[in-house]
Amino acid sequence: MDSHRVWCLGCGVFLMSALMGFGEPVNTMTISTPAFAQGEPMPVRFAYKGQNISPEVRIANVPATARSLVLIVDDPDAPMGLWTHWLVWNLPADTTSIPEGKVPVGTVQGKNSNGHARYDGPAPPSGMHRYFFHLYALDTAVTLAEGSGRAALEQAMSGHVVGTVETFGVYAAH
């Protein structure tokens, strides 16, 4: 076979595999917040000693196989280890926005590291910390009671994640 025919054959195999859905799916799910750009400082109103309200979160391109969404907000820079600020699950898969200071009806909030079933904003004891907003698309709803903790949530999510994405902001001790 000459090189032109080999090239054409390769192109045909590539095209057929693309059309038949072979290969890894592309994760196009996005998460953002209009209050701050990724990696930029979070406004004081979202801090624990500010108004302690959650920022608006925008979501797009959730996988078609998703049945629910989970949002986990945490601080990996806390002196005592990973600090969880917010756990929200059973967000409808078609959610495109979580309004500032609210959660959609029917969602469930878990217990954060402060012991509250709500959002508690940044409160670093010193220095600059990163606050990650992790979004998970699940192929099922989570059957946990309000106020359940992160370990229970992660156990319930195990084997059901069909997509994940994150963004983060930073906040310095004042």
pLDDT for the residue 59: 98
> Mean pLDDT for each consecutive 10-residue tract of the chain (174 residues)?
45 39 63 97 97 98 98 97 98 97 95 98 96 98 97 98 98 90
pTM of the model: 0.85
Cα 83 to Cα 75: distance, rounded to the nearest angstrom: 5
Task: Kindly tell me the burial class for residue 5, based on how many C-beta atoms sit within 10 Å of its own C-beta (0-12, 13-18, 19 or more).
Answer: exposed
pLDDT for the residue 18: 39
Phi and psi dihedrals of 41, rounded to 5? -60, 140
Structure tokens at 39: 């990696």
Domains in the chain and their CATH numbers?
Answer: 26-172 (3.90.280.10)
Cα 76 to Cα 172: distance, rounded to the nearest angstrom: 14
Distance of CA 126 to the CA centre of its chain: 26
pLDDT for the residue 26: 56
Contacts of 29 (CB under 8 A, 6+ apart): 59, 60, 61, 62, 63, 135, 137, 163, 164, 165
